[in-house]
Structure 1
């Protein structure tokens, strides 16, 4: 049920608690900025090697479901009804949740032996677009023609988002496990997003209450799974760096040993030289 601009709910939104407002702004900035390390790592490496396209596909569709879930929840619709410019509120929510899909902007790794082809990336993109279109059409239908079913539709989207989010991390966890390294996956990004998921879940839970479990529950689940991926990434990265350091030290030792052997051989030849040594030696 939508509230007129003069209702108590709208008046409360018009005079928000400044502490909660600042807290929400910090969360928004944290979500947006948390993806910068990932983008920087991909650009600096000039490769998305190590990122699973199926992780991108499932993450994008999960994000679409979660975005639609937020928009179709009665509490969120009531808040948006208080705004005279719905486009601004829609854009605000879009900016909040769109980063969940930003890994889709990356290309599959160029190592054809390790990663799927570019065709797979194109198929993933089209599936994501089609899924977003179908979700939007169904949400509009329930909003205009069958409002009584909106809560059930929102719950379905929340459950689907959670399921996709849970499945989403398994391809990436498996890819990281096979590579035994993070490659283009950003550890700083996960360090920011893992605790941020729980903070954002708490923020949504305080506003939407228990009935909004389908909205904030997904962030609890994804936070746990991303934490698992983070622990794996840190362990593999430490092992990889230790292995590189040992290989470098081995090459340095081999080079030094080669120089020492060459110097010893030279010294021996010098010792063999005397006044009776012919200028041209015949090879034995």
Structure 2
């Protein structure tokens, strides 16, 4: 019985892992503050790619549910076998991914809150009466559809995870699917933003300090998930891939941030 308990609920403490996980969680939350600040400061989300946000949110959502499914049995040890300190240490993977999901949802919401007013509507003239009326622009409607699709994915993922855990079903293949979706999301997440920043030759509303903080943080996050009990490569590979692409985006952002004021004025960021 004791051997079984030790296998399912390891009692070895590693204070270094706890400190690393705590620092990453705080650092991850703090890394989004510059982006939130810039959105409130500029009062516009112009320059942020909707596909960058969609794929990013898809990735962090999938990673959260991947870790939740894989670590659920381990985290249950908190109720009968682990001290609060040991529980916190072995639950850090879940805490970190939850923080990442929360922060990305906030950024996604602010993208729509600060959507450029002049790009929300378009004016149409009636061919019969000649009356001019305002309607939602095609671009804004497409972005709303993408936002709704993102919310639906979060809902479906939550329902799927709940059914599997409540029904005590095999979660390995579903967790693996979430991990692969997260990996694909991370691989393609930064490509739209890299392309938009490169083609518009401006960082727009994208926060360079956020990318600067998150570059090393992504690799540290990947390592932190790697050492968590019951996780596998599908849990951390997405953050490693994101770190590589963030380095590319950071180099491009720094390059265009150092442009002359004349070049900056000539480069108008596009939302799409």
Uncovered stretches (5+) of structure 2, i.e. residues with no partner: 81-87, 121-136, 266-272
CA contact (8 A) 2:31 2:210 kept: yes
Q: TM-score, normalised by structure 1?
A: 0.72
Match of 1:222 among 236, 242, 245: 242
CA contact (8 A) 1:49 1:111 kept: no
Q: TM-score, normalised by structure 2?
A: 0.75
What is the CA distance between 1:219 and its match in structure 2? 0.5
- 2:38 maps to 1:38: no
Match of 1:20 among 7, 17, 21: 17
Higher relative contact order (CA 8 A, sep 6+): 2
Q: Tell me which residue corresponds to 2:169.
A: 147
**Could you tell me how far apart the structure 2 residues matched to 1:172 and 1:93 are?**
22
Higher helix share: 1
CA contact (8 A) 1:201 1:220 kept: yes
Partner SS state of residue 164, structure 1 = helix
- The alignment yields a C-alpha RMSD, in angstroms, of 2.9
**Could you tell me how far apart the structure 2 residues matched to 1:178 and 1:112 are?**
19
Q: Tell me which residue corresponds to 1:135.
A: 157
**Could you tell me how far apart the structure 1 residues matched to 2:183 and 2:192 are?**
16
CA deviations 1:164-183 (Å, max 9, x no partner) are 22122121111111210101
CA deviations 1:41-68 (Å, max 9, x no partner) are 1111111110011211111122111111
What is the CA distance between 1:33 and its match in structure 2? 0.3
Evaluate the alpha carbon distance shift between residue 83 and residue 116 of structure 1 in structure 2; reply closer, same or farther with a 3 A threshold.
Answer: farther
Evaluate the alpha carbon distance shift between residue 12 and residue 146 of structure 1 in structure 2; reply closer, same or farther with a 3 A threshold.
Answer: closer
Query: What are the equivalent positions in structure 2 for 1:31-180 lying under 5 Å apart?
Result: 31-73=28-70, 76-84=71-79, 94-105=98-109, 106-107=111-112, 108-110=115-117, 112=119, 117-145=139-167, 147-148=169-170, 150-180=171-201
**Could you tell me how far apart the structure 2 residues matched to 1:59 and 1:220 are?**
14
Evaluate the alpha carbon distance shift between residue 199 and residue 61 of structure 1 in structure 2; reply closer, same or farther with a 3 A threshold.
Answer: same
- State how many pairs are aligned: 233
Partner SS state of residue 73, structure 2 = helix
Moved more, 177-186 or 236-245: 236-245
Evaluate the alpha carbon distance shift between residue 240 and residue 80 of structure 1 in structure 2; reply closer, same or farther with a 3 A threshold.
Answer: farther
Match of 1:238 among 258, 261, 264: 258
CA contact (8 A) 2:63 2:97 kept: no
The structure whose Rg is larger is: 1
Query: What are the equivalent positions in structure 2 for 1:194-233 lying under 5 Å apart?
Result: 194-208=215-229, 212-233=232-253
